[in-house]
Amino acid sequence: MTKKIESCLVSRLSRFVDLTERERAFIAEMEKDERPCHKGRTVISVGDRSDGVTILKSGWAIVRSDSTDGRSQILRIYLPGEVMGLAEIGSSRASHRVVMQTDGVICPFPRNGLAPLFSDHPRLGALLTAVGSLDQIALRHHASSLASMDATRKLKFWLLQLRSRLEIANVGLGNRLQVPLSQAEIGQAVGLTSIYVNKLLRRFVENGEIEIERPYLRLLDRERWEKDCEYVNPFVDMDTSWFPQPDPVGRDATAPAKLAEPELEPD
């Protein structure tokens, strides 16, 4: 029997709210169909029908955009505990290819199974929506860095953001992070050649800014990097004030509470 893997999605969401047992049970339902996936396997192909979402329970996956001339660009990296396809839930077809970057476990979940998020677990639905919005903000920050920064700061910004995202899922250790990508793949993510990535990493090491023990990398001068890149971590300031209150007994949190019957006076 395959041993069940602890939920990185629960760990990630618990950074923002204390999940109830009912909310944890719903996440367990989302993750019950565990499927091992090996490095290099295509999880989603362009044009595939989008029947739901897929939780990346463990491992890393990347979103690739392939051009006709053979060049490839990495548009996004999915980390443990992230939900693939949530941002594309309104589309019936996949527009990009998703490939496993490492061995891992995925959990497909049908689109119609998401309905209880809004009827029975509205706070959990609000939380997933809010987390998705922070992911979109991070992607916009990344796109802005590619357009406005020089090569050195592009790579610094990318590493800073990767550290922040790993920390949310509790799979990062402070300033030490795993980077299971080749220098060519890092270049595809930040718009640089593998030769330039190699040059910059060697310079960072020589300057005492990072340590590299593949596949791990440690940021030694993170605060100065953050100032240099004007880096803002979007994952530390979630507004949860608008979330519905969780209902531990199963009543819809949006429904009005039933008024108590008046007590009768004894005869």
Separation between Cα atoms, residue 108 and residue 231, nearest integer Å = 34
Encode the chain (267 residues) as per-residue pLDDT tens digits. Answer: 455 667 899 999 999 999 999 999 999 999 999 999 999 999 999 989 888 999 999 999 999 987 777 678 999 999 999 999 888 888 889 888 999 999 999 999 999 999 999 899 999 999 999 999 999 999 999 999 999 999 999 999 999 999 999 988 776 668 999 999 999 999 999 999 999 999 999 999 999 999 999 989 999 999 999 999 999 999 988 999 999 998 766 554 444 434 344 444 454
Indicate the fold that domain 8-236 takes in CATH.
Jelly Rolls (2.60.120)
Q: What are phi and psi of 178, to 5 degrees?
A: -85, 135
Indicate the DSSP class of residue 81.
T
Element (H, E) at 67: none
Residue 259, helix vs strand vs coil: coil
Q: CA quadruple 33, 100, 45, 161: dihedral positive or negative? A: positive
- 113 in Cβ contact with 67 (< 8 Å): no
At position 96, the amino acid (one-letter code) is H
pTM for this prediction: 0.88
Q: CA quadruple 31, 250, 52, 76: dihedral positive or negative? A: negative
Mind giving me the DSSP string for 200-234?
HHHHHHHTTSEEEETTEEEESSHHHHHHHHT---G
- 157 in Cβ contact with 149 (< 8 Å): yes
DSSP lists the bridge partners of residue 32 as none
Residue 86, token pair as written in the block: 């949530």
